[in-house]
Amino acid sequence: MNRENSRESYDRALDVLVGGVNSAVRAAPQPYPTFVRKGDGGHVVDVDGNRYVDWVMGLGPLLLGHDLPDPVQAAVQRRTSEGPMYGMPTELEVDHAEFVARHVPSVEMVRFVNSGTEATTSAVRLARGYTGRDKIVVMQSGYHGAQESTLVEGDADHHAPSSAGIPASFAEHTIPVPFNDADEATRVFEEYGDDVACVLVEPLLANKGIVEPVDGFHETLRDLTRDHGALLVWDEVITGFRVGGLGCAQSKYGVTPDLTTFGKIVGGGFPVGAIGGRSDLMEEFTPVGDVFQAGTFSGHPVTMAAGHETLRYAAENDVYEHVNDIGRQLREGLQEIVAEQAPQYTVVGTDSLFKVVFTRGGEAQSGPCEDGCRQDPDCERFDACPKNGADVGRGAVERWNRVFRPQMLDRGIMLSQNQFESQFVAYGHTEEDVERTLDAYREAL
Ligand SMILES: *Cc1c(COP(=O)(O)O)cnc(C)c1O
């Protein structure tokens, strides 16, 4: 496969863009990133003209794939031709907020922002403002964007910033606990409960995994927060309008958070974030309340049009049936391949998310988890399936990155850019894409 133009573009980029990229993960692929010329349905075409089945899908926002259906495309073009933005309200923002509030169980009011990072930053500020408390509890290896309050590593007793440039005094207020560890969360609340403003948690670990919750974990967090007067904030930036369809992961798992953060799909492929929740909480934001929140581009008309028409299209067509069915086919197919060729590895994912984690050790894949790990305690492999980010991190990461991913790329399959991120099914993917992908896994694993 000729990848000369990608290599040359990267060479040029290294002089003027830090690490050759504008977001760190894009530099992870070995030996250099693929530079994209265009998307087409479920595929991307690179600057050398190579075509790949694309499971990156913009890192999650592209529920429909690269070809926007006519109504979405028309709405985006109409908005751009009428002036890109105004700094004044539009009806579109109201339409989109109404749609979100109508479909997501815990949401009565919405504030749109411009990235998932902005959404989680604002949600944490809101929780602190509302409760008058400073501490927040997060999950180890959870991801909430590039923000000061959540870039923290360690455990509940010893934690520090995970990035240079963040004061240690910020990390002091952020308590990391392992995902799926109800006992540790309970212990932390016994010790710090009255100082905790919120628990910030992804419904499933989607940036280090995928790791699904074990039965009762989210219910424990719901009870702990309620009992201690803290807020439960679900970060649905990835799962929102993907896992659980239009009702999001909270409808699938049957847990009602106080606040929810959104991003990715809710902007239909344009920069977006949102915070949603009960109106008594949301009205703590300015201009009604005292928690400052603002943004020049917030509620951007092109983004609102793209997001709203995307979700309307999903509501009126078989989008979720299709992506979830393709996801299931992939996970089932992978499960068979893994059972035969790499029984120590774990197939993970749900709905339209899928991935093979290169776990070490563990028994043969058998038992009830047919289309990926469901954290079923009756499954033979229950103990071997990753329960938290550390379990995922102990996998054969170098093999995945240096040996496996390049082989998949050579076979025309674009996997996530590092071993830890989710892979996403879009409406544009076909059964032929599934077959090609499974064939490639079969050869490369
Ligand atoms: C992507 C992501 C974010 C950050 O969103 P950005 O738009 O990249 O700032 C936050 N939380 C989760 C769960 C994400 O997946």
Residues 102-141: tens digit of each pLDDT: 999 999 999 999 999 999 999 999 999 999 999 999 999 9
Give the residue whose CA is nearest to atom 10 of ligand 1. 144
| Pocket perturbation via mutation, ligand 1, pick of 138, 264, 420, 422 by most ligand atoms within 8 A of CB | 264
Q: Are 303 and 90 in contact (CB under 8 A)?
A: no
pLDDT for position 428: 98
Residues with pLDDT less than 70, the chain: 363-368
CA of 275 to the centre of ligand 1 (A): 13
d(CA 281, CA 69): 36
* Domains of the chain, each with CATH number or no CATH: 4-67+319-444 (3.90.1150.10), 70-316 (3.40.640.10)
Q: Model's pTM, two decimal places? A: 0.97
Radius of gyration of the chain (CA): 21
Closest residue by Cα to residue 365 from 325, 329, 394, 332: 332
Determine the distance separating the centroid of ligand 1 and the alpha carbon of 442, expressed in angstroms.
32
Structure-token pair, residue 239 = 């799962």
Kindly state if the Cβ of 206 falls inside 6 Å of ligand 1: yes
Q: Which of the residues 10, 52, 130, 143 is marked catalytic?
A: 143
Q: Is 387 a catalytic residue?
A: no
113: three-class secondary structure by DSSP: strand
Among this protein's residues, is 38 annotated catalytic? no
pLDDT at 378: 87
Q: Which atom of ligand 1 is nearest to the CA of 273?
A: 7
Q: How far, in Å, is the centroid of ligand 1 from the Cα of 375?
A: 24
pLDDT score at 44: 98
Q: Tell which one of 114, 118, 144, 151 to mutate to probe ligand 1, the residue whose CB is within 8 A of the most ligand atoms.
A: 144
Which residue type sits at 141?
A: S
DSSP string, 204-253: SBTTTT-BPPPTTHHHHHHHHHHHTTPEEEEE-TTTTTTTTGGGHHHHHH
56 lines ligand 1 (CB under 6 A): no
Q: Within 13 Å and on the Cβ side, how many CA atoms surround 438?
A: 20
Instruction: Determine the Cα–Cα distance for residues 243 and 1; give it in Å rounded to an integer.
Output: 35
- Centre of ligand 1 to C-alpha 59, Å, is 9
For residue 207, give the ligand 1 atom closest to its CA.
15
Q: Which residues pair with 348 in a beta bridge?
A: 355
